[in-house]
Amino acid sequence: MTKYGSFPGARPRRLRTTPAMRRMVAEYRLHPADLILPAFVREGIAEPVPLAAMPGVVQHTRDTLRKAAVEAVEAGVAGIMLFGVPDDANKDAAGTAGTDPDGILQLAIRDVRAEVGDDLVIMSDLCLDEYTDHGHCGVLDAAGRVDNDATLDRYAEMAQVQADAGVHVVGPSGMMDGQVGVVRDALDQTGHEDVSILAYTAKYSSAFFGPFREAVGSSLEGDRKTYQQDPANLRESLRELALDLEEGADMVMVKPALPYLDVLAKIADAVDVPVAAYQVSGEYAMVEAAAEKGWIDRDKAILETLTGIKRAGADMILTYWATEVARRLRD
């Protein structure tokens, strides 16, 4: 007897006594194959360009991108998501650099495919925002609004040129209504039935995208609230999910990750296709900035955030720490 009653019969602490015990009973485990590396490749640069808001992340040259892809393979990372950054002089209202077979993203896809073949799942961002002079994810109508259906035609062209370049997976990210179905039809009709679609199903209009806009040299003025989702809404994501699956999505994504773990969990419970989550630039920047100040333990915080995303239901996580974390997990 204790002073206040019986000793406890149930002692959950017994399963926390040693590192080996905690490893043995862990309910969720990160693995290098869970991770996808987002990478930026910029047209016309001779050296990588560091990103001020994302310490440790760069805009790659074509050569350094090849090296990054090889390093990802060696670390056991599953995939790489490529974003093209064209020269400002090549941006226009229709984002034609995004459908130019010799545009920077298509060249990068070819480079990485030639370097690593099928050892890394090569994914590509399928969106116009990097290539338009107005910075929106689609073409604009006469009133300056994003024209959904005219944009779908452009996405169909993008899907074809990216597939021709050798991509394994396209990631339509513009949040246009009907985008998955149009992309699927475009791929199937051009002999690319084996190219998969990772649908950006729940992409929220988020403050956490801020550093990403530096990374892609965004020309955006204003916001994307008329097509990206309202952070207040959850049921809307489930509606988007049903539509994407009906249109042929092979995989679905929630973006950002940490502010939307409830959405991720709901979607993961609802589907039988793989679910991805994107740990976006602002999530990365917060941890790096706090660690630089000495306010948190960087390495522990990184693993804790990724484990939380995995626990919420993600099968795959896009994270700028992918190669670093994969090495740590293997070691």
Nearest CA to 326 among 57, 38, 65, 77?
77
- SS3 category, 67: helix
CA-CA-CA-CA torsion sign (281, 277, 220, 227): negative
Please, are residues 38 and 321 in contact by the beta-carbon 8 Å criterion?
Answer: no
Nearest CA to 108 among 73, 63, 142, 148?
63
Query: How far is residue 215's CA from residue 83's CA, in Å, rounded to a whole number?
Result: 9
293 is catalytic: no
Bridge partners of 203, per DSSP, are 255
Query: How far is residue 320's CA from residue 175's CA, in Å, rounded to a whole number?
Result: 22
Phi/psi of residue 203, nearest 5 degrees: -115, 115
Burial class of 286 by CB neighbour count within 10 A (0 to 12, 13 to 18, 19+): middle
What per-residue string of b and e applies to 237-271 under the rule 16 or more CB within 10 Å gives b? bbebbebbbebbbbbbbbbbbbebbebbbbbbeeb
Q: Which of 67, 91, 255, 310 is catalytic?
A: 255
91 is catalytic: no
Q: Which of 203, 225, 293, 300 is catalytic?
A: 203
**Could you give the residue numbers annotated as active site?**
203, 255
